[in-house]
Structure 1
């Protein structure tokens, strides 16, 4: 496991600690092996900022890019005793054909103090597109639960703006106008016009793969939050990618168990509800999800992946001062994931029978 060491002037560290909700970046140095990189750093995330083990956003300054990335995130995974659910989920999306950030576990220290095991995650930005040789295009983050493709909030209140819940990560102001038009279209078009127009703005096959992934790993927040929209510069179509998937594999984001049938077959947001009104889109989803349930989201496929990841983490678990996970706890957690996969797979297959 790679070792990352952050060196930061105490005054800048105090600035971060004096206001944990401030997103302003402060200067620091990141050491990886013999290499030193000038960076800027800030806390990131929502729930995690109140925890003892915090997550970090790192932006490279000199050099401007490291391994093709200008920005990375170091996630604490504090509510996950296995430190694994996020990585397992993002890797799963990658396997089923959805653009997904890559990740790896690292050991982190700050000014000589051990901070434990972190999950380094790629930032979904223009540099990721460049690295993957994907067409350039705007990227918009779904930053809160108002990003539900609806005219109404989760509390059924009328939104003040169509782009509520979204933040432009990369692109121009007019790209937000395209997003507003997309959301207006989802909500205002008649069924006849929606069926005809939606393939002109959304990559439906990739969207349905994303829904399939979120449904399989059962991310309760994933349908109205924790995703990014990317408008492919060649096709002109919106695509979608996952983000922050720690509340998965039979657990919620706080680490509590969720029943295997907690999230329905179709997930839930306004865009999916409109798509699944039409038989051809229901049939397409049935085919995609059925294939995933047969070839990817199975105990035979996922068990060795989970075993390998857990074995790689075991030797370093005792080095994390913020968790009390040991080999026995990891084995127990493994059983939770295995049991979830088995029951969730059977449940989804049963639901698909009457879906088309």
Structure 2
């Protein structure tokens, strides 16, 4: 494999006995010890598989925790995503970068080349972990972080999974950072979303959530068309200074015209008004709805255009193409990879047409 001129090379070494243990049961989360060589530095790490259904794929995704030293470049933990179902391998990064352009807190990401015990495993996407170090790197106030782990993170009192009243208001969430006392604020937030009377909602809800940033997050979902984005695929951060919640996107490979299975997705698949309880209640308020519509129109003039997005997508595709040709899991599909710029381009055109027609619904 050629050295990547502009792509970091991550050399992973796992004792064959430990590697056998890792492969024995892909559903076990217990990490195994390993070494990672980056930029000439040899790092002691713990490694495990990551994800749910993606563990079944031949190209595995990994979670890495730094052990010695216990931090590397300001991170305690990173994620290496195989992006197996995305023929372009760029959709997650394209989405995170897009969210950042919209003013939404988003993980940083970069493509890397991974070898395991000397064998090239292909092009991966390294994604920053959303944790206390994520906040520290951005000079943000400390606070709690909750991961939305399943569809019950729908901002509702009703379960999205079994359509019954939730037995716990924390269903769908896992606290990643912050003391247990922070659970109370999450519970209070869910209750307030569902019980503030309509006449008081406009004045009261901004005491719990940063409405502007929430609407920007919703706009990001609408433009990238992440079907699961409203009830899953996000983290909640409660800023300890402002006392407000804001949302951080996560897992955006099923976007820009392809679904979770990598199939072409219709441009009208994700509705302009979204779907979760908080979004529905916000868009029921005329001032919030008008702000949302203005935001969508502004983004459609500036960021969600072929002129803005296609050069960014093309640059990423050109960067990784020489290594996709050598990727043992992707090289046989290079023809499809080469068509992805057109797929993304067609999606943007069709999605713009759909949204233009639907903007009147937000009057």
Give the aligned partner of residue 338 of structure 2.
Answer: 331
Structure 1 SS opposite 2:362: coil
Q: Deviations over 1:136-170 (max 9, x none)?
A: 11110001111111111224222221111100000
Q: Deviations over 1:47-91 (max 9, x none)?
A: 110111111000111112111111100001000111111111111
Q: Deviations over 1:110-138 (max 9, x none)?
A: 11222111100000111011111111111
TM-aligned CA deviation for residue 327 of structure 1:
5.3
TM-aligned CA deviation for residue 18 of structure 1:
1.5
1:212 lines up with 2:190 in the alignment = no
Equivalent-residue separation in structure 2 for 1:262 and 1:83 (angstroms): 22
TM-aligned CA deviation for residue 325 of structure 1:
5.3
Give the aligned partner of residue 68 of structure 1.
Answer: 74
Structure 2 SS opposite 1:120: strand
Structure 2 SS opposite 1:79: coil
Structure 1 window deviating more from structure 2 (257-266 vs 147-156): it is 147-156
The one of 12, 24, 46 equivalent to 1:6 is: 12
Structure 1 window deviating more from structure 2 (7-16 vs 310-319): it is 7-16
Pairs within 5 Å for 1:134-149: 134-149=140-155
Equivalent-residue separation in structure 2 for 1:151 and 1:231 (angstroms): 20
Equivalent-residue separation in structure 2 for 1:312 and 1:327 (angstroms): 14
Q: Deviations over 1:200-239 (max 9, x none)?
A: 0100000000000000010000110000000112211001
1:263 lines up with 2:270 in the alignment = yes
Contact 1:41 1:59 in 2 (8 A): yes
Q: Deviations over 1:96-115 (max 9, x none)?
A: 10010011111111112221
> Closer, same or farther in 2 for the Cα pair 1:307/1:328, shift >3 Å?
same
Give the aligned partner of residue 320 of structure 1.
Answer: 327
Contact 2:156 2:190 in 1 (8 A): yes
Structure 1 window deviating more from structure 2 (2-11 vs 120-129): it is 2-11
Structure 1 window deviating more from structure 2 (38-47 vs 154-163): it is 154-163
Aligned length: 356
TM-aligned CA deviation for residue 326 of structure 1:
5.6
Q: List runs of 5+ in structure 1 lacking aligned partners.
A: none
Query: Scaled by the length of structure 2, what TM-score is found?
Result: 0.95
Q: List runs of 5+ in structure 2 lacking aligned partners.
A: 1-6
What RMSD, in angstroms, separates the aligned Cα atoms of the two structures?
A: 1.2
Give the aligned partner of residue 84 of structure 1.
Answer: 90
Query: Scaled by the length of structure 1, what TM-score is found?
Result: 0.97
Contact 2:123 2:327 in 1 (8 A): yes
Structure 2 SS opposite 1:354: helix
The one of 24, 28, 38 equivalent to 2:44 is: 38
Equivalent-residue separation in structure 1 for 2:280 and 2:75 (angstroms): 36
Structure 1 SS opposite 2:21: helix
